Structure 1
Amino acid sequence: MDQIINQNVAAWLEGPFDDATKQEIKRLQAEDTHELKESFYKSLDFGTGGLRGIMGVGTNRMNKYTVGMATQGLANYVKQEVEGTPKAAIAYDCRNNSAYFAEVAANVLAATGFTVYLFDALRPTPELSFAIRELGCHTGIVITASHNPREYNGFKAYWSDGGQVVAPHDTNIVTEVRKIESIDDVNWEGGEGSVIKINKEVDEPYLKMLEGLCISPDAIKAQKDLKIVFTSIHGTGITMVPPILERLGFENVHIIEEQKVTDGNFPTVVYPNPEEAEALSMALAKAKEIDADILLGTDPDADRVGIAIKNHKGEWTLLNGNQTAALLFNYVISARKKAGLNKDNDFVCKTIVTTDLIDRFAAAHNMPCYNVLTGFKFIAEVIKEKEGKENFIVGGEESYGYLIGDAVRDKDAIAASAMICEMAAFYKNEGKSMFDQLIDIYAEHGYFKEKLISITKKGMSGADEIAQMMKDLRANPPATINGSKVLEMRDYQSSIATDLQSKVETVIDLPKSNVLQFFLEDGTKISARPSGTEPKIKFYFSVNTSLSSADEYDAADEVLETKVAKIIEDMKLN
């Protein structure tokens, strides 16, 4: 390992890298050898979605050179696939260096013969997806690290359908990126005239598309004074959420001014992640102060949204991604039917770790619910496969990502924010709260309670530790968990589902992925998955019971909460 580090450091000190980079390497040699090793012990991996990593000098960091090499590999592949002049769209978020990395990528693409459409200011990731289709591009890039801590940035690659790249393009792009062995292989200059700055020519059709998603305009009109609190957590949501809420007719939107400022240092939060209660604490204080109806917070690139509402006891509560998904899917399906907008070929789509409650009420509406691997690109892939045959209406994943309609092919917190506010107006107009509606869904279809825990393993040894945890689970699947027999193990890496009682194996008809799922006799589902973007392994727990009436909710909630805690304890994960 030390030999690899020394070779990489020497190559950067002796190669055609800029002076500032070389000076920083020398500083690390003198002052921070641990950081030097972390920065050079490997090359930042271009996975099937792109790059994500800590910013800094080195082969294992996000910087001008790693971004340029990744862009060159993507450009080379697209040119092989496209006749004539290829076109690309690029957007970026609020993070430090995002605008700079976007310019680097634009210049490399232009110098390689592309026409490049570059947003002249930060924009949400879903608008980039929309722009690809709107402008007839062959590929797209968004510079973002989503909800990661401030020291991270990333590079996500998209295909012509507006979705993140999937097979075979994903692995083919990785192959081309790995062929770029030196910065001398990168076209850094020469096509500046082919970079076209864009803004309103995409903003306006995007906002008009979002307006067209509205299902219940009369409810919004009746509840135009709905008290909405919104925070963009210093990110791109500020560019599009307030405008679409205004266009829909909401007149009482309260924006958290301190977090309205776009700032890659995220000065008011520890993590810019709407899954974290701390990130929404300022918005929650405002919601309590004004007695709001709903609170919404989007992550830095505005592809995910977290919400808070009052529960049945009048207490403010942050909904998890599964609860919001259940509400959103149920509303879109039922409201479309009520408005006469439903079609016989409507379908919905979700990931395998998202609540199975959605499958229940989709079936009750005689509607297909397709389950895909974790990653919104797989939902986009289903939309593309079904295009012209079936009609996609809503999709989502438990990690706060949702999509309404198919004009965008990635999770869209702008569209989701608009639809969530419409949903709040609709139920308020009927004299009930969103939490009341959630309990009604549980009473009708079953109460599903989900919990996620993430175990972080950082540094050079972290990946090995995570790999060992998955290896042990595969080699020795538990016979029982919390006293309940494990009936089935699904290994998505081998594409085999095994009945642990009969040992009968069946094939899983999904792409291979490093995910394990265990199905228990009592209806519990447990999933294990190493994160593709962070040094974490994630465990998803789903337990359920039936309610004969809404009055049983509190007692059932206590039972299921205790059950999840015992499962985690039994698996020695706490």
Structure 2
Amino acid sequence: MNSLLQDTIEKAFREQKLLETTFHNLEEFLSLKDLSAVERESLNELVQNQNWEELNERFYKRLSFGTGGIRGRTMGRVITKAERGSASLDGPPQYPAIGFNCMNDRNVRSAALGFARYLQRVFPGEALKIVISHDSRHFSRYFSELCGHTLEKTKVKAFLFPSQRSTPQLSFTVRWLKAHGGIMITASHNPPYDNGFKAYFKDGCQLIEPHASEVIKEVEAIESRADYLLQDGEGSPIILGPEADSAYIDAVETIILEPQALSTAQEKLKIVYSPLHGTGIEIIPKLLDRHGIRYCLVPSQIIPDGNFPTVKSPNPEDPAALSLAINLALEQKADIVIATDPDGDRMGAAVKNKQGEFDLLTGNQIFSLFAYYRTSRLFEQGILNAQNAHRAVLIKSLVTTDLIKKIAEHYHVQCVETLTGFKYIGAKLLKYELQSGLEDYDNHPFNERRAVQLQKGKYFICGGEESYGTSCGDYVRDKDANSATLELVEVAGWAARHSMTLLDYLDSIYTTFGYFAEKLGTMTFEGPEGSNLIVQILKSYRENPPGEFLGNKRVGFDDFGLADHYDIEGDLIPKEIMLRFIFENNNKLIIRGSGTEPKIKFYLSTHSPIENGLEKTKDNATHFLNRWWEIIQQDVKRRINR
């Protein structure tokens, strides 16, 4: 170890410029015997330039699994000369950021090895197969190939797509190939400097407990041992052919309930679609073409680009992300705008209103349209009836609109609520698969699987989250923006057959069940200090829950991190720091920390009977939620400053 470097680091720690965790992690980092030239040179540069804040960001903790696996920066706020390498100054660096808290070779390799070692333990003696996919982010292809070659060294057969493919296609392909696991390199809609590693089990679902904790143990055992890489496995990853895309598209099309609705969409609707520089361009145009849907692509957003140069955020939840698509829709006189996030698991949409302008649909509204349409159609077709309705299920996260529960109650189907994270919905689908008793489940035709589930198990109508993620079929065990696009077009086609737009159809649902309104408020706290603030805020609300807001008294409080909670099926809900407050007059607040970003999230919701007209009810609810959010932000500031 360079003694001058060590002395400088120790001095910075004594002067409290480095956090204690940063200091100890730097000591461990410097003791590693396999440091690369980029790692050594970058650390020297950051220390010599006294970039203490940057070092704290990179070393104050290790990356850990959240609701979306591992995520972190691939590019530091300060990019060193060694990291920049031969890359131009106007693009990404040649090498990812060094550090225990960054997505880089060391952490990706450790994650892949830890995952492989866990699978070897769970499936002893089997010839393991792992499927790998990636999105369009910086270093995504590089990390995918790194994972592939790392796995091959451990005698695990790796399968890679020829280019970017979506998260749901990865989930499907794990099942299609009967692989033991999958790896998705993505950070979803995070900023361009981020990337991530998501691990999937053999059922095509993201890791849940106890798998996640066991993988973490394996990763931690590997991180300080370079000799795990010195194994004698040889070979190259297998590159998947076009049959993988075809199989996935065929599976997506099993969600179709009313082919005539797609015929109407073909005749009456025009779509504008944007993949927001991501994976959606690989599948969605093929789906639309197969059904003769008229559509336009946003030219500047169809090219995969990890900079996401045309948007502030490649997030279909963000209205600004759809602005170019909406402008094109106005020009082309289109009816619907659809956009998907970079890894193709979330879909946003906007619909032309009576004034010729475009109204954005929220994630809650999209899921409500799907849930009502699919449930009502299944009853209309006689597939669901009074005798088997109790075996049909809608699944939503606890923070998603309660309109789904009202729809379920109306049709006497079950509504199961889970924690945030589609992996919990995927876990339910595995449970229902096992209940069916069918061996080699995926090889049975879809209609046969549904018939068996309605006889002795549970049939999945659809599932979703407020964050624009839905699934309408159990062929995939993650949210699927590709199938959501097809589903939205089908629902729009059915509405058009009945002289309605999607907005009209949504209003008819509100007229039946009352108006449900939701608002998501977020507060961002970055870095080590931010992490501590998030903990402090959650602790404050847990210990001192608000007694009232805007004159509405609290009538209920649930702490999902301490008390046991069971879902409607009697299954224990895993512990998570999430606080739910119930107030008078159908008002609810849920607070939780994000599992993938340095944010704390506040989910506000209200349910109002329609009095004095629907539009007036909508305006009142919007005003109420906006005022409530203002008060919550003021309350958070007071709690921080106590």
**TM-score tier after normalising by the smaller chain length:** over 0.9
- In structure 2, what is the equivalent of residue 398 of structure 1? 466
2:274 counterpart of 1:211: no
Deviation, structure 1 residue 9: 4.0
- In structure 1, what is the equivalent of residue 262 of structure 2? 220
2:631 counterpart of 1:570: yes
2:63 counterpart of 1:17: no
How is 1:316-331 mapped onto 2 (pairs within 5 angstroms)?
316-331=358-373
- In structure 1, what is the equivalent of residue 396 of structure 2? 350
2:422 counterpart of 1:376: yes
Deviation, structure 1 residue 23: 2.4
- How many Å separate the matches in 1 of 2:512 and 2:105? 54
- How many Å separate the matches in 2 of 1:290 and 1:394? 32
- In structure 1, what is the equivalent of residue 187 of structure 2? 145
Deviation, structure 1 residue 125: 0.4
Q: Could you tell me whether the CA contact under 8 Å between 2:68 and 2:421 is conserved in 1?
A: no
- In structure 2, what is the equivalent of residue 337 of structure 1? 379
Q: Could you tell me whether the CA contact under 8 Å between 2:264 and 2:496 is conserved in 1?
A: no
Residues 496 and 485 of structure 1: is their aligned pair in 2 closer, same or farther, counting only changes over 3 Å?
Answer: farther
2:55 counterpart of 1:36: yes
Q: Could you tell me whether the CA contact under 8 Å between 1:111 and 1:189 is conserved in 2?
A: yes
Q: Map Cα deviations across residues 328-360 of structure 1 (whole Å, 9 max, x no partner).
A: 111111223333444723211010000000110
How is 1:261-300 mapped onto 2 (pairs within 5 angstroms)?
261-300=303-342
2:48 counterpart of 1:5: no
Residues 423 and 47 of structure 1: is their aligned pair in 2 closer, same or farther, counting only changes over 3 Å?
Answer: closer
Deviating more after overlay: 213-222 vs 470-479: 213-222
2:288 counterpart of 1:234: no
- In structure 2, what is the equivalent of residue 51 of structure 1? 70
- How many Å separate the matches in 2 of 1:188 and 1:338? 61
Q: Could you tell me whether the CA contact under 8 Å between 1:235 and 1:299 is conserved in 2?
A: yes
- How many Å separate the matches in 2 of 1:317 and 1:573? 32
Deviation, structure 1 residue 281: 0.9
Q: Map Cα deviations across residues 398-449 of structure 1 (whole Å, 9 max, x no partner).
A: 0000001100000000000111011111111211111011111011011000
Q: Map Cα deviations across residues 502-558 of structure 1 (whole Å, 9 max, x no partner).
A: xxxxx994110110000112110100010010000000000111126xx81111011
Q: Could you tell me whether the CA contact under 8 Å between 1:114 and 1:194 is conserved in 2?
A: no
SS in 1 for 2:562: coil
Deviating more after overlay: 238-247 vs 210-219: 210-219
Deviating more after overlay: 302-311 vs 144-153: 302-311
- In structure 2, what is the equivalent of residue 554 of structure 1? 615
Q: Which runs of 5+ in 1 are unaligned?
A: 498-506
SS in 1 for 2:171: helix
SS in 2 for 1:224: helix
- In structure 2, what is the equivalent of residue 60 of structure 1? 101
Q: Could you tell me whether the CA contact under 8 Å between 2:265 and 2:490 is conserved in 1?
A: no
Q: Which runs of 5+ in 2 are unaligned?
A: 1-17, 75-96, 437-456, 637-642
- In structure 2, what is the equivalent of residue 412 of structure 1? 480
1:257 to 295, 299, 302: 299
Q: Map Cα deviations across residues 44-69 of structure 1 (whole Å, 9 max, x no partner).
A: 22446521000111111000111011
Q: Could you tell me whether the CA contact under 8 Å between 1:146 and 1:299 is conserved in 2?
A: yes
Residues 535 and 172 of structure 1: is their aligned pair in 2 closer, same or farther, counting only changes over 3 Å?
Answer: same
Give the root-mean-square deviation of aligned CA atoms: 1.9
- In structure 2, what is the equivalent of residue 364 of structure 1? 410
Q: Map Cα deviations across residues 162-194 of structure 1 (whole Å, 9 max, x no partner).
A: 011112111111222222232514426643415
- How many Å separate the matches in 2 of 1:320 and 1:109? 40
Q: Could you tell me whether the CA contact under 8 Å between 2:524 and 2:600 is conserved in 1?
A: yes
Q: Could you tell me whether the CA contact under 8 Å between 2:350 and 2:360 is conserved in 1?
A: yes
Deviation, structure 1 residue 495: 2.3
Q: Map Cα deviations across residues 61-119 of structure 1 (whole Å, 9 max, x no partner).
A: 00011101111111111100003211111100000100111111112222112111111
- How many Å separate the matches in 1 of 2:207 and 2:564? 25
Deviation, structure 1 residue 38: 1.2
- How many Å separate the matches in 1 of 2:374 and 2:36? 53
Deviation, structure 1 residue 212: 2.3
Residues 190 and 287 of structure 1: is their aligned pair in 2 closer, same or farther, counting only changes over 3 Å?
Answer: farther
How is 1:509-528 mapped onto 2 (pairs within 5 angstroms)?
509-528=572-591
What amino acid is the match of 1:517? R
- How many Å separate the matches in 2 of 1:364 and 1:37? 54
What amino acid is the match of 1:205? A
- How many Å separate the matches in 1 of 2:631 and 2:66? 34
- How many Å separate the matches in 2 of 1:121 and 1:308? 29
- How many Å separate the matches in 2 of 1:91 and 1:186? 24
SS in 2 for 1:569: helix
Q: Could you tell me whether the CA contact under 8 Å between 2:316 and 2:339 is conserved in 1?
A: yes
1:155 to 197, 213, 218: 197
Q: Could you tell me whether the CA contact under 8 Å between 1:493 and 1:515 is conserved in 2?
A: yes
2:148 counterpart of 1:106: yes
- In structure 2, what is the equivalent of residue 503 of structure 1? none
> Percent same amino acid among aligned pairs?
39
Deviation, structure 1 residue 24: 2.5
1:482 to 550, 556, 559: 550
Deviating more after overlay: 344-353 vs 524-533: 344-353
Q: Map Cα deviations across residues 223-270 of structure 1 (whole Å, 9 max, x no partner).
A: 3142100000000000011111111231x1100110000011111111
Deviating more after overlay: 241-250 vs 559-568: 559-568
Q: Could you tell me whether the CA contact under 8 Å between 1:312 and 1:435 is conserved in 2?
A: no
What amino acid is the match of 2:492? A
